Structure 1
Amino acid sequence: MSKSIIRLLIADDSADEAESLSNALRQAGYLLKTQRIEDIGTLDAALSKEAWDAVVCKSALPQLKISDVRQVLDKHHATCTMLLVTKKMAADEIRQAMAQGVRDVFMQGDWVRLGPAIEREIETGKAQQAHAETAETLRQLENRYRVMIETSQEAVAYCHEGVYVDANPAYLSLVGCANVDDLSTIPVLNLIDKNDHARFKNWLRKPDSHEGAQEFLALDSDGRGFAAEIAMSPIHLGGESCVQIFVRDVSKRKALEVKLQYLHQRDALTGTFNRPYFMQELARAIELAEKNKTATGLVGVEIVGLKDLNQSIGHAACDRMLMSVTRHLREHADKNHLLARTGGGQFSILLSGKNENENKKFIEDIRASAATVRFKEAGNDIPLSIAVNHVAVDGSVTDREKLLNRIFAADTQVTAPVRAGKASVAESKPVPETPKPSAANETHSPPASAAGKSSAAADFSGQISAALANNSIELFFQPIVNLHGEAREYFEVLPAIQMGNGEMLGADRFMPSAVNSDLASKIDRWMMQQCIEQLTQRQKDGQETSLFISLSDSALTDKILLQAAHQHLKATRLDAGRIYLQLSAAIVKKHNAAARLFVAEARKIGLNVVIAGLDSQRIGIDDLKEIDIAYIAIDCCSDTDSGVGAVNDSALRNAVALAKKLKTATIARRVENAEIFSLLWGAGVDYIQGDYLSPALTSPDHHFPEEQTLSSDVAQPAFNLRAAG
């Protein structure tokens, strides 16, 4: 028996009979709250005030017809049940009353059954209400899920026994259908290239047999293949067992992986294979020669005296010389030969395993053709001395370094050039025991990071003043390449000053002198002016270039910098959003109030701000909170002695986590080798930049190389800021 109060409306024109019904229920142990009603008006008023559990109506009341009571209950959306009490009623009349909504009929005075019937109907009503609420919740969830699926950029479809049941707009677009009805006539297998049909069908039959996504070659509506990541899961749709299929186009990711693989294997300047990849292939060749008792050849081509040339004609000219020699070698090498740049001016060629006579002929041809290499710079013939040597790869020497030492021997003798501008050629005398420096030590070093201990404290204020007065500071532009972010035409601006001996002096070396001699602010203003003019011209040409300018610490207190920039921007009508000002994390942390004020002023005129160098600075969310910054730049440091890039995994992930909290993106700078790409990719870095990716250019024009495009094929080669020795 229920101990809760039963709220009961009694429709009866007799107060005594209504009281008799109430007393009978109370005597049976029920707790009641009752109200007697006599007509539709009092029923309407009672329902307006509060909720009731049941209405017990006396039959044969002309002023309270059953149909009228039902109508009032529906008007108030009342969930109370309706019961009928009668003295006498024919079976047809009972059936009619039940049809109008009466749940049960009782004889007058038969109150023993009335109480349990009311309890039963109350519980039934609660169950019906719970069911209705659950159904409404389910409907809302289905609608929400439907909206999510409909608006999802991922293609989602549902199929039953290989036939489509439903799909979202992204999937319909993928297969070229206007609606689901058109899709129902297309087999699911049409999505997959025929070479993957068997594997796809097996998975479709047992969608729960494989966890996670699998990669397939899928076909779009035009029949073009693309790399797709597909996930399946069994699901019930409309009471029917179906398979839910998610399709994600990963062709862009695959293309990026191909590009990263290309960068991992290639030399940044020449586009030939790099030393690490060449050493891997050389190890395989040694292993095959030892196993199969066969031999192939290894040829070394070296520009002798490249370091001296670097001092005499400068870095840019030496880079162009390397490109010229590279093109010459590629023209003469067999397509099956492996050509690599294994040192500053050293090229190694692993022959393709032909017979000894053919290898000798190739070596003679290379030596003869090397003598014809000519190079001009500024209209002047530059004398070249090229050494060519070779060794057999027959398994007798298994040490790769020793083999390279033999073709790049320390005591190479070279005769004087026959005439200016034409290369002289000599065969190296092998000295296998003479150790050679690794290629990493011979590859170019950017001025920005090449400062030695002896030059770190040097005073370059005179050269800086002269360069500012003569407007002769050179600007180079290093591409910032998309990794996880949106594709943008981003470049960092790198200033350099050419010394009297042709050496390029980078900012890391001359800026300390600029700060000590109060010239840093002048450099900041000069760079800002030059970048605005550069961007204005590119804006007129329809190019959406953006430049990243590293400012000195003096910028925070320079009241002229932003004012002059604002006036220049208004005069040129340049979109200020194309300029990104880079502030060091150290100065932002040290002078946080001044940094906040500077950023606010910069943002007021539309300039963007980047916080750079978070790898070594313990800067937290409180230091950057409420500062409107566009990017956080992380430096991937490089060990210049070993050439091995080093990045602190924990610091990197902390910086990325900080960027996410600030709802901004990240840039990894100074990426010097491909080994750290996987770390940067896994950490979720948005953009990457560095000499290994692309050297600095003389103008902000950069096209990411395709897999088969070598930089040595480009008619106007990119200029590399790295020193050519």
Structure 2
Amino acid sequence: MEYHNKHPIRLLALEHSPNDVERWVQLFRHTGFPLRVEYIASLEMLEQALKRQEWDAVISVEETPTFNAHQILRTFRHKNLDIPVIVTLNQYQPNIVSKWLDAGARDAIPANSEKHILHAVVRECSSLEGRRSLQSEQRKLIEANKRCQLLLNNAPEAIAYMHYGMHVDANQAYIELLGYDKADDLAGLSLIDLVTGKSKDAIKQKLTQFQQGKSSPPFECQLSHNDGQIISASIQLSEARYDDEPCIQVTIHPAIIPTLHQPLHEQSPLTPRDHMFQKAEELLKKASRTTLIWLQIDDYDSVRKSTDINGVLSIQHSISKLIREHLPETMSCHYGDDVFLILDTIMNEDKVSEKLSQLQSLIGNHLFGSDHETLTVSTSIGFATQQDSNDLNSLISFAQTAYDLCQQDKDSHIKQYSRTEEVRLKALDGDIQARIEQALSDETFQISFQPVINVTGTGEKQHYETMIHIPTTGKETINIHRCMDAGELSTLMPLVDRWTLRQSVLELTKKQKKGEIPRLIIPLSQWSIQDPKLVSYLSNLLKASRIPADSIILQLQESVALQQLKGVVELEKDIQKIGCLLSIDDFQGTSSALRLLQHLNLYLVQLDAQFTKTLGKKHTKQLEDILNTLGDNNTHCVATNIINSQTIAHLWQLGIEFAKGDYISHPSNTMDYDFE
């Protein structure tokens, strides 16, 4: 099973709750596939997700109270979107599978067949990438053909294409050279018909002897003008293709070139892109305040479809000219097909929006095109102002983000970059990173505690696991340590970890005042391992609160501990000095995982949920070996995801000390579970 695309698989998931999405996150990460997943629960959430970016696949349950897979498929058909949908079934039934395939799903698979679902998603994503690549190349081919046609039409040389000696196309220079009005006038005429005198025999011989793959040297001949005049010229034959058919390109160089009415394109008034960037970096070093403006043509795809390349070039050139005339003291360039960048270092900050509004009106009221075609366009503008900044790339990124924010605001087509506004809108759209950043700023995290009971009935300490959630637009919350895109949270998670430690110590202080001191298992992200001040921060919290240090159990994912073992060893030594304990989560008991016990003094490990699912069916011998090794190292063991009393009985027989799960108790915002 291979997936060659460089970017992560971008997956939409319709599940009964955001927490159910966790299984797909875990499945793909455990098998080494990069994944970006987003939970959807309604048509509105799907619409917003489709607006934000391109998606590679959808995993969907058949139906939830608010949304279903049929609505997803209908939406994709209506929007003509090529996104594969995998429907997960409660159980396998051939008639149900056939129903979903007929409805347009790429596959319908029982929800418990996780490996099958993984293979189906990877298969469909690889196939989709092939289709998208083909479409991209086809678009490039169409654009290349358009550019070639434009070059042909504007070429000063007289050029025509022949198929079996007959004209199939000719440019304006060729048509005017021979005195015709349009290319259709040459239809049915052969090159031999245009040659006079002795030249006829020579051209016949040249056409007969012409070989594909080679070009003939130019030869002199005389051509007949439409008004009867004789034109002395040289003709060169070369290989070409027209409408995907092999043909001959004929290039005529007349001895005396008549005056042709060739349009002269003015040079763009904007600074060339590379030159502007070079000058901009020099200006940024000197300027105390810089404004970067991102101006983009609205609905550019529709504009392109409504005109030809000449029309598009006319629009681009005219906008360039309007920018230069209205903002003469700025530096600007044509950044992309529909994007223009403007750099200003002297405009009064209070006047920027006013000036841009005037420019926007000028462009909106301007009539583009030619005498035969009139075009109008509108634009949207984002801009960013920075004090003492010399990072041009950051300015461009901020200005583009401001433009993106402008697209989401129906009331404004000019927007200044604001980090707070960017985070707020992204959070409303369901972006996990933005929600975390907003929760850090507003202190809106929700902390909960799930009891970890002692199955054997021994031991004095009560245990809870700390969980940090962020609220969603509905009643559900998301556990941020389970649903996160690792690559994007490296700067945020250390701050979340410190917030979690601070709140956990505060809650323990409240319990201590009641004469109770439970132990808290607190998740720690991989980025805090390298934080040199984390342990001293925790030590200061403990000193200020005066709670026992062994009440804090820092917990790391097994995969993180294996990947950063050297850093974890140093962290364990440091927390041991202040009296705190260490735990490993999602412990799978492989040989590499068990080797962690040789390097780390672990207080406990939490077994991977797979062991609980198969308890009494398989893995029993493997589990017994794991428990024996843990016992030899004085490491306690926690069974997770307990769903019934029979499972607890199995744990007692195996000698597993601790257990947690929703059957025992759901997470609560207080530590008030009755352990008796």
What's the TM-score bracket when you normalise by the shorter of the two chains? 0.3 to 0.5
State the structure with more CA Rg. Answer: 1
**TM-score normalised over the length of structure 2:** 0.33
TM-score under structure 1 length normalisation: 0.31
